[in-house]
Amino acid sequence: MGRRRLLSLSASRSLVSLLISLFFACFSLVNGKSNLTRPSFTHINRDLYHTSVALMDEIKALVHRHPDKLFLETIRSQNKGYHAEMTVVTYCRNRKEIEDRSKFRILLSFGQHGRELITSELAFRILSILSEEQFLPYMDPITLNNTLEKLVIKVVPMENLNGRKLVEAGDLCERRNGRGVDLNRNWSVDWGKKEKDYDPYEENPGTAPFSEPETQIMRKLSVSFEPHIWVNVHSGMEALFMPYDHKNTTPDGLPSHRMRSMLEKLNHLHCEDRCMVGSGGGSVGYLAHGTATDYMYDIARVPMAFTFEIYGDGTASSKDCFKMFNPIDLTTFNRVLNDWSAAFFTIFNMGSQQLDELHRKASVSNLDKWVSIDDYLNGYLMERKNRYGKKMEVLDLGMQEIRTYFRLFLLSSVLLMFMFCSRISKSSRQIVSGIPI
């Protein structure tokens, strides 16, 4: 009897709770505030994606198994208490020939934005194919071997490790580094300019060009390696971009024609002609200032500089970032990795075929380009060759101060010249006035 009474009270309370819930639900519907359509956000699929630690461990183990072809180095840098670490893997068919400057050199960067996990998975897949632990279908092994004999490839699997850790901790929309700076806005070409739709959460360029340790490391790498091809790999859409990002134009002349021809071929062979092709600034719908690809082309003088966007889900909510930037099912995941791995090996093949032509035209193309004072200081003065032929940085710090002092020097020189000319003019008038008529 007592138990029945308890059950009866419990049932009564449940009924009251249900009536209250229905009341508020009806109230919400009447006032247009229903939560029935609240979007559900996709979380990281751990069955498909490595954690950052696990991925780096896999890559280190891969290098350890193939010391004849792969070489790994970890580079660290810090600025004002903020520390960054970057792993760089170098591939060369004969490791003793890594420093051979006659080989065609390719620099690839993945994971510049923390939320774009698929890009680092692609880096791992490419390294696995280079080590011959995985294979590309429909790729002639003889052609592949002949191509790889001519190449040195540097791969940065995860440029933005600190930002990636924030994503793994639950901030799935984070694209910036560990202190809130967008690494693809922290380079010197047209740095700091803000468009009308500027979003500080997305695009913070930092306090100055190269303020971030991550971009400092990448700049040093580009200067010392002198790549013929640079590819910055992103996700969010499907596109093959060439310079420029900061303006709605492409470069003039043969270099531009060469880059566009390569991208159109890749689009046809590996993207079924659905990828957007052209300049980043002219194709994506907005201008981006201070990007890595514009720096690589204009300042580092990389002959072919690209940004690849390898995946995007246009149906995803703008707040459902994992789904927007990364495949969430096994079939799509594998398709993206297979298609874009094949695209990169097509690039390797086309690039090696142009090696002789690039050597012949490198000196002429460099003379054809003029640069501003800022670009000169950021690009040309930051390295000089020592007697052993290797690069060393001489203006790694204080670039902003140097530019400021240089401008002050120019201004003071003009003022001094003006004062000197005024003094001479006054002296001349005094002499003339003292002559008898």
Distances in Å between the alpha carbon of 296 and those of 126, 219, 305, 375, 418?
A: 22, 9, 6, 12, 40
Distances in Å between the alpha carbon of 211 and those of 199, 300, 392?
A: 19, 18, 19
Q: Which of 121, 203, 238, 309 is catalytic?
A: 309
The Cα 273–Cα 90 span in angstroms is 31
Closest CA to 245 of 229, 226, 232: 232
The Cα 300–Cα 107 span in angstroms is 12
Catalytic site residue 309?
yes
Closest CA to 109 of 100, 120, 97: 120
DSSP 299: T
* Cβ atoms < 10 Å from Cβ of 351: 23
Q: Are 322 and 41 in contact (CB under 8 A)?
A: yes
Report the relative pairing of strands 276-279 and 237-242 from DSSP bridges. Answer: parallel
Closest CA to 339 of 169, 177, 125, 168: 125
Look at the block and give the residue holding tokens 């990795």: 337
The Cα 311–Cα 326 span in angstroms is 7
User: Three-state DSSP class for 55?
Assistant: helix
Catalytic residues: 309
